[in-house]
Amino acid sequence: MRVLLPQHPWGSRRELLLEFPDHWVVEVGEIAGAGQSPLGDRDIEKALREPIGSPPLKELARGRREVVILFDDMSRITPARVVIPWILQELEVAGVAEDRVRFIAALGCHGAMTRSDFVKKLGEEVVSRFPVYNHNPFGESVFVGETKSGTRVFVNAEVMGCDLKIAIGSVAPHTMTGFGGGGKIVLPGVASFETIEEFHKKGKEALGGRGGPFSVLELLRGNPLREDIRDAVQMVGLDFKVELLVNGRGEAVAIFAGSPDLAHKAALREAIRHYRAPFIGDASIVVANVFSKASEGEIGVVSSLPSLTPRGGDMVLVCQVPEGHVTHYLMGTFGRLSKTPLALKIPLPKRLRQLIILTQYPEPAFCDYFDDPERIVFVKGWQEVLSLLKDRHPPGSKVAVYPSADLHFFG
């Protein structure tokens, strides 16, 4: 059997062909919306001019003095560049001068983007015409209030200095908030380090181990993180949100725009159908491909491990990221002796014999995200993967392949 997997999300996109031995039983679990066609210009124009629960953007923009457009970073495949020309057109119609508009990357505690990153996300024309900034979680921030649960919210001063706040993001499954998108562009997106740390600590304590590919829908209810996010959006005064859904190739296939709360709710209803994948159980080999969130490859491991048979087996993580793992100042790794406040350490279950990472760009520091790095091996070619697996998995072995392991959920 042959399976094609999308690769290189921010470079020259291509597909990797995996050929499996005929004597293995191979099943593919892909998200429902993987093959959906990309949006056309009319779809985007209609969404902005007939928004959900909000006046059209050109009406919101009239009389505003300073405008900020927030966007997510390279750890999300969100194709903001397809929406931005239409947003700028609406601002122009409203009489907003170009020199009153700026873009800010809502990084949370992630590392800074470069100009070339900005171009990939926003397009060369936008980067050449408008000031584009990274959010600095350690920099100047403004206290906007406390959430109902008591989280003190400090937000980027440049954002709070604008009287029209627009944001572009995408909605996809998330192991802490159920789904991302929505107000996450604000909290943690443009919050201070201290606020983000408090936010995550509170969530970690309250969730008590909940999260993962089977509990995404459960996390949408009674989740203190989602409640904090909702409060933060109101305190910050986010005016207009554009939510996108993406297919298996990272193309925008659905758009919901308008009131941050109502647009997100509409996007969620569709996202639950769109990102659901069939669960393949009792597999002795699990192949998890990451593309849309490839710089956080551990997501593919966590989301796909449940498929591994209790009798024990192997996992192959396909992760082609020339840029490497995203820098994370709160949960990331900076060496054996340099610990971050909430360093991520994923337990590898005993039934996992080996985590094989198929990549042209090995990154040994990535092993720091797991509790047993001795079971992790990097290989550069599929034939080398097969040579490791063939002797351990006889004819009739079941193989689960997840082409969108960083986007899917089961349930």
pLDDT tens column, 396-411: 999 999 999 999 999 8
CA 33 – CA 271 distance, rounded (Å)? 9
Look at residue 209 in the predicted model and tell me its pLDDT: 64
The model scores a pTM over 0.85: yes
pLDDT at residue 273 greater than cutoff 70 = yes
155-172 residue pLDDT tens: 999 999 999 999 999 999
Whether the CB-CB separation of 239 and 53 falls below 8 Å is answered with no
Look at residue 196 in the predicted model and tell me its pLDDT: 99
The dihedrals phi and psi of 207, each to the nearest 5 degrees, come to -75, -30
Number of Cβ within a 10 Å radius of residue 380 = 13
CA 88 – CA 93 distance, rounded (Å)? 9
113-153 residue pLDDT tens: 999 999 999 999 999 999 999 999 999 999 999 999 999 99
Amino acid in the structure at residue 218: E
> For the residues 333-337, what does the mean pLDDT come to?
93
* CATH fold of the domain at 41-274: Rossmann fold (3.40.50)
Lowest mean pLDDT among 166-170, 179-183, 305-309, 338-342: 338-342
Domain boundaries, the chain: 2-30+277-402, 41-274
Look at residue 205 in the predicted model and tell me its pLDDT: 81
CA 5 – CA 14 distance, rounded (Å)? 8
CA 404 – CA 394 distance, rounded (Å)? 26
> For the residues 79-95, what does the mean pLDDT come to?
98
> For the residues 353-370, what does the mean pLDDT come to?
98
Look at residue 411 in the predicted model and tell me its pLDDT: 86
Span 2-30+277-402 CATH architecture: Alpha-Beta Complex (3.90)
CA 367 – CA 356 distance, rounded (Å)? 11
SS3 71: strand
pLDDT at residue 210 greater than cutoff 70 = no
pLDDT at residue 204 greater than cutoff 90 = no
